[in-house]
C-alpha cells in the first residue's frame, strides 16, 4: 500500500535548547494534547529519529513501551504502520483513542452536546446533601484530596451519562473526560512527581471543561489531511513477552522510551483517571497492572521475580547493585523499600535484557532501534549510567551499537549534578 503522505516534507532537524528539548512545541500539540503523560517524550524527537532511520512509506514502527502513543501517532501521521504495546491500561486506552481518526465530526459534536445538556440538567437537579462518590476501595487507591467532593460528584454524573448514551465515539468522550478532569477539576499537580496542590478546587465547571477537550479533538481531526491513514495496532500487555503481539520478521524500526530505574511509581501519575474510567477498581487490580510493568521501582517488586538472571554475567550491574546495598547498610537505611534498591536495579536491567532478547525474532534485518533513557541516582545517590549499561546489554545480545546521542541534561536535586538523557541507537543485523 502506498503511503498517503510525503514523508517529512522539507524536514529540518532543529537544535533545541536544554530547557525546551522535552516540551511540546505549538506545532506538536495536535492529537498529542488529547491526553499526555507528564513524563512523555516530545513528538519532535520521534520525528527526528524516524527521519534519521530513513524509513520507507508503509514500513512498520514498533513502540514496545508506548505510553500515551507519541511514537504511534507520529508513525500514523507520516505514512507508517504503527504497533504499540503498553502495560498500563489507562495509557494504553489513550494510545488507542489517539490513533483513531475515523470520526464523523457532526455526530461526535452533536452526541457530545446532548450529553452535556443532560449532565447539566442532572447536576442542576441533584441533591448536594447526597453527593456521588467512589467506593471505599476506589478512594483508597487515590492520593488524599485528589479531587474535591463537588467536582467529583459532577464528574461522576457526566461519566454516567456518557456510559448511558453509549455514543459510537464514546471512547473519545471518555478520554476527553480523563483529560478535563486532571486539567480542570482535580487538585493534582505534576512536577514531574504527582502531588496534591495546597489550594483545593472546591468546585469546578466540569461540563464546560469537558466540552473544551471535545472541541480540541474535533478541531484537530477537522484539520487533518483527508487521506486514508495506515492502521495502527495497540496491545495492552507486557513488553518483556512479545510473542502474543508480533509476527516474526515484521518490524522495520523501534522507537521508544522505557521507564527509568528511578523509584517512580508510574501508575500514580495516572491513578485518578484510571479509577474514574474503571481500569483499576481495587488493590488487586493495581497489583495485576504492576506485575506487567518493567521493574523500575521498589513498589512493584514481587516474590518470584527473576528477571535479574538475564544480567547475571554483567559485572557493571552487579557492582552498582552491591554499591547501592553497601551504602544502604552504611547509612543504616532499613525500610522495606530501601532494602529493595539493589534488587530492583538488577531486575530493571534484567527486564530490559529479557525484552531485547525476546524482540530479536520480530525484527527485520538491519532494523534500527532508538531507546530514550536517562542516567539515574535515585538509589542513595549511586550513579546509574543507564544508556551505557543498556548499550552493553544490547551488544552482548547481538545488536550493533550505532550511537549514544545526548538528548538533553536535567538537574538532579538529590546529587546537585546534571544527568544525561540519551537516545541509544541500535541495529539488528540478524
pLDDT tens, residue by residue, 279-329: 999 999 999 999 999 999 999 999 999 999 999 999 999 999 999 999 999
Domain match, 267 and 163 both: no
In a domain, 20, yes or no: no
Q: Report if residue 14 sits inside a domain.
A: no
Residue 191: its pLDDT value, please?
A: 76
Q: For residue 405, give Cα distances in angstroms to 147, 334, 374.
A: 41, 38, 11
Residue 9 within a domain: no
Asked if residue 385 and residue 266 are part of one domain, the reply reads yes
Which set of grid coordinates corresponds to residue 199? 489550594
242-286, pLDDT tens digit by residue? 999 999 999 999 999 999 998 889 899 999 999 999 999 999 999
DSSP letters for 386-408: HHHHHHHHHHHTTPEEEEEEEEE
Q: Are residues 262 and 369 in the same domain?
A: yes
Where residue 41 sits, what CATH number does that domain have?
3.40.50.150
User: Are residue 89 and residue 144 in the same domain, yes or no?
Assistant: no
Domain final residue, candidates 222, 257, 272 = 222
Count of structural domains, the chain? 2
Q: Which residues contact 249 (CB under 8 A, 6 or more apart)?
A: 361, 362, 363, 364
Looking at the structure, tell me whether residues 170 and 306 fall in a common domain.
no
Q: What is the pTM of this model?
A: 0.93
Whether residue 429 is contained in a domain is answered as no
**212, 238: one domain:** no
Give me the pLDDT at residue 2, please. Answer: 33
User: Does a structural domain hold residue 18?
Assistant: no
End of a domain among 190, 205, 222?
Answer: 222
pLDDT value at position 309? 97
Q: What are phi and psi of 411, to 5 degrees?
A: -85, 125
Quick one: pLDDT at residue 293?
96
- The predicted pLDDT at position 417 comes to 79
Residue that finishes a domain, picked among 222, 256, 286: 222
| Residue 55 and residue 76 share a domain | yes
Q: Quick one: pLDDT at residue 10?
A: 47
Domain for residue 274, yes or no? yes
Q: 35 is written with which cell numbers?
A: 491526553
Mark the ranges of the chain whose per-residue pLDDT is less than 70.
1-24, 192, 226, 413-415
Give me the domain span that covers residue 55. 26-101+229-422
Res 410: pLDDT:
81
Residue 173 shares a structural domain with residue 320: no
Torsion angle defined by CA atoms of residues 56, 58, 60 and 66, in that order, rounded to the nearest 10 degrees: 100
Strand partners, 404: 424
Q: For residues 215 and 240, state if they share a domain.
A: no
**72 and 126 share a domain?**
no
Could you tell me if residue 6 is inside a domain? Answer: no
Residue 12 within any structural domain of the chain: no
Same domain, 344 and 255: yes
If asked whether residues 62 and 181 sit together in one domain, one would say no
- Check if the beta carbon of residue 31 is closer than 8 Å to that of residue 73: yes
Amino acid at each position: 500500500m502506498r503511503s498517503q503522505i510525503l514523508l517529512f516534507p522539507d524536514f529540518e532537524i532543529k537544535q533545541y535548547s536544554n530547557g525546551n528539548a522535552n516540551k511540546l512545541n505549538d506545532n506538536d500539540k495536535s492529537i498529542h494534547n488529547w491526553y499526555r503523560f507528564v513524563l512523555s517524550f516530545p513528538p519532535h524527537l520521534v520525528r527526528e529519529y524516524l527521519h534519521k532511520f530513513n524509513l520507507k512509506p508503509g514500513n512498520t514502527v514498533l513502540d514496545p513501551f508506548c505510553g500515551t502513543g507519541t511514537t504511534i501517532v507520529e508513525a500514523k501521521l507520516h505514512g507508517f504502520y504503527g504497533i504499540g504495546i503498553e502495560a498500563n491500561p489507562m495509557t494504553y486506552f489513550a494510545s488507542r483513542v489517539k490513533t483513531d481518526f475515523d470520526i464523523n465530526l457532526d455526530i461526535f459534536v452533536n452526541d457530545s452536546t446532548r450529553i452535556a445538556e443532560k449532565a447539566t440538567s442532572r447536576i442542576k437537579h441533584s441533591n448536594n446533601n447526597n453527593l456521588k462518590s467512589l467506593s471505599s476501595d476506589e478512594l483508597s487507591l487515590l492520593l488524599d484530596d485528589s479531587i474535591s467532593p463537588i467536582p467529583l460528584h459532577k464528574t461522576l454524573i457526566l461519566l454516567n451519562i456518557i456510559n448511558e448514551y453509549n455514543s459510537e465515539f464514546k471512547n473519545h468522550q471518555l478520554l476527553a473526560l480523563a483529560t478535563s478532569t486532571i486539567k480542570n477539576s482535580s487538585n493534582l499537580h505534576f512536577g514531574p512527581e504527582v502531588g496534591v496542590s495546597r489550594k483545593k478546587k472546591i468546585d469546578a465547571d466540569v461540563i464546560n471543561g469537558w466540552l473544551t477537550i471535545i472541541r480540541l479533538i474535533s478541531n484537530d481531526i477537522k484539520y487533518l489531511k483527508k487521506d486514508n491513514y495506515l492502521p495502527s495496532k495497540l496491545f495492552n500487555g507486557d513488553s518483556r513477552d512479545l510473542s502474543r503481539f508480533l509476527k516474526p520478521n515484521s518490524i522495520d524500526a523501534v522507537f521508544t522510551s522505557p521507564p527509568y530505574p528511578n523509584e517512580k511509581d508510574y501508575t500514580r501519575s495516572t491513578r485518578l483517571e484510571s479509577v474514574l474510567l474503571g481500569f483499576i477498581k481495587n488493590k488487586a487490580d493495581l497489583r495485576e497492572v504492576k506485575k506487567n510493568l518493567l521493574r523500575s521501582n521498589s513498589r512493584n517488586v514481587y516474590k518470584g521475580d527473576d528477571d535479574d538472571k538475564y544480567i547475571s554475567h554483567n559485572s557493571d550491574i552487579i557492582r552498582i547493585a552491591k554499591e547501592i546495598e553497601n551504602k544502604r547498610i552504611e547509612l543504616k537505611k532499613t525500610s522495606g523499600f530501601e532494602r529493595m534498591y539493589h534488587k530492583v536495579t538488577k531486575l530493571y536491567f534484567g527486564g530490559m535484557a529479557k525484552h531485547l532478547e525476546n524482540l530479536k525474532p520480530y525484527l527485520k534485518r538491519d532494523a534500527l532501534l532508538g531507546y530514550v533513557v536517562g542516567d539515574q541516582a535515585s538509589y542513595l545517590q549511586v550513579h546509574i549510567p543507564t544508556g551505557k549499561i543498556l548499550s552493553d546489554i544490547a551488544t552482548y545480545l547481538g545488536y550493533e551499537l550505532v550511537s549514544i546521542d545526548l538528548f538533553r541534561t536535567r538537574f538532579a536535586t538529590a546529587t546537585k549534578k546534571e544527568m544525561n538523557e540519551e537516545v541509544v541507537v541500535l541495529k539488528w543485523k540478524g
